[in-house]
Amino acid sequence: MPRHAPELECSPADRASLVGLTKNRTAEARIVERARIILACLEGKEIQQVARELRVSIPSVSNGASASPCGG
């Protein structure tokens, strides 16, 4: 399993939409979690660090980053 999440590039509009999702109080928890994972991966953090900070499993981080709308 790779240490770093796949290289993600995101437009400012996509990033703003992800940030909006993390602040949305009515969004599904899994959608908010995935948005947080993607934002953390966009910062270039290692998969294990993201998992530890967000208290999710390593496969959740890998799957969340690979399903990014930003392309991965």
- The pLDDT profile of the chain, 72 residues, written as one tens digit per residue, is 566 666 778 899 999 999 999 999 999 999 999 999 999 999 989 999 999 999 999 999 988 777 676 655
Q: Are 2 and 51 in contact (CB under 8 A)?
A: no
Domain ranges of the chain: 12-66
Q: What are phi and psi for residue 25, nearest 5 degrees? A: -80, -10
Q: Residue 24: what pLDDT? A: 93
| Model-wide pTM > 0.85 | no
